[in-house]
Amino acid sequence: MSYPYPLVVFDLDGTLVDSAADIAEALNRTLEDIGLARVPEATVLGWIGDGVRRLVEQAVQAAGRQIDLAAVMPTFMVHYRECLLRSPQLFAGVVDALAQLRALNVPLAICTNKPAALVPPLLQHLGIADAFALVLGGDSLPQRKPSGEPLRHIAAHFELPVDACLMVGDSLTDYRAAEDAGMPIALVRYGYPRGLDLDNAQAVAVIDDLRELPGLAAVSAI
């Protein structure tokens, strides 16, 4: 059996890993440090996906404060590292899906807006680091999602046409990146959609479990 996509590129938070509680805790510790009230995890879910600077910026804006982000980000990054391995969990089906795709000789990559230095320790902790041939973080290039440039960069690294590869994500940020790059996308229902209308998205598939991925047929880019 051959797979119709010669490369599968995964988002990380909300697609492979349920890390919302840890990201929320890091953000809340930062807010406490600068004299602001903690916010519910459900609120933080709506802010995850555009990178750490934008995450902190949205939290501060929601509190109605004017603050020097450059001064706050080092504090946030300390808490982010401290909370990175606090309680992350792989979503159901991730291990099996990755194993099935690798058994089909499909190279796998990660395209995340999480800072690149924090991705390998998280993958090692969760036992899936060896599954990925390439990992691109939110600070690996001058552009990050929702720009399509990271996806184009990954496709070029594998010497593949971008419209032949498959992106797998959960959010509006992922969807816009795939749209900008011209890469087909499969979306998961269980992640952090951040305003994405999953029922009307132009996607290869909208799935409830990553174990559905190995059975997908090829569909043109959105």
Predicted confidence (pLDDT) per residue in 142-189, tens digit: 999 999 999 999 999 999 999 999 999 999 999 999 999 999 999 999
pLDDT beneath 70, residues of the chain: 1, 218-222
pLDDT in tens, 183-194: 999 999 999 998
pLDDT, residue 217, reads: 73
pLDDT, residue 160, reads: 98
CB 177 within 8 A of CB 150: yes
> Are β-strands 17-18 and 89-90 bridged in parallel, bridged antiparallel, or unpaired?
antiparallel
pLDDT, residue 2, reads: 82
* Active site annotation includes 22: no
Please choose, from the candidates 19, 29, 22, the residue with its C-alpha nearest in 3D space to the C-alpha of residue 192.
19
pLDDT, residue 20, reads: 95
How many of the other CB atoms lie within 10 Å of CB of 96? 14
pLDDT, residue 195, reads: 87
CB 148 within 8 A of CB 136: no
Distance of alpha carbon 65 from alpha carbon 21, whole angstroms:
24
pLDDT, residue 194, reads: 86
**Cβ contacts of 4 within 8 Å, gap of 6 or more:** 216, 217, 218
Q: Name the phi and psi angles at 13, rounded to 5.
A: -70, 125
Catalytic, out of 11, 13, 18, 170: 11
pLDDT, residue 219, reads: 56
pLDDT, residue 145, reads: 98
